[in-house]
Amino acid sequence: MIRVVALLLTLACAWAAGFLWFVAVAVPESVEDETTRTDAIVVLTGGRERVNTGLALLQSDMAGQLFVSGVPRGVDLADILRHAGPGQHARSDQVVLGHAAEDTVGNAIETAGWAAGRQVSSVRLVTGAYHMPRALLEFRRALPDAMIVPHPVFPDSVKSREWWRWPGTALLLATEYAKYGAAIVRHWFLPRKALP
């Protein structure tokens, strides 16, 4: 019994140490590279801030094309621009919407399939800061030869720097840490997924 308790305590301590590393080191606090121009901007759906950031980067000529992955079926560019708010615009020939992805692995596979026929060798990846570690893991696996520039966004609703004071943020980060760990283990044991 003592051995079981000791094992459980050891596992709990290891999980806690890994979680503290995740929130303090792995989750970015800022956009480290704001100047490198890439072949494409890739936005993973999941928040208005992400799409607005992607559109702003496109308008700033940080890339010539924008790919939005994981868009619900039936949603088109006009819908996205309408929800993005005033001042957001984009030409239809600059923006491609991906409707196949349902999760982060799907985002990476969908993006790799889109990029393959367009000579895209560098992307600026836009997603929530808390989601960026796992997104980078999946994108580096799906696009092993591409340069990926992380461009995290920081939703007001996610208090990642004071997560312990906000139960909702603490739960979100703990869940994301668990998914990140599961993704690492999956990559150890499963072969690379083929593109569709």
pLDDT tens digits along 55-106: 999 999 999 999 999 999 988 888 887 777 666 666 778 899 999 999 999 9
Q: Domain segments of the chain: what residues?
A: 28-189
Pairwise CA distance, residues 159 & 168, whole Å: 9
Query: Is pLDDT above 50 for 194?
Result: no
Mean pLDDT across 176-181: 94
Q: What is the pTM of this model?
A: 0.89
Check whether domain 28-189 has CATH 3.40.50.620, yes or no: yes
pLDDT tens digits along 101-155: 999 999 999 999 999 988 899 999 999 999 999 999 999 999 999 999 999 999 8
Task: Using CB atoms within 10 Å of the CB of residue 134, give its burial: 0 to 12 exposed, 13 to 18 middle, 19+ buried.
Answer: buried
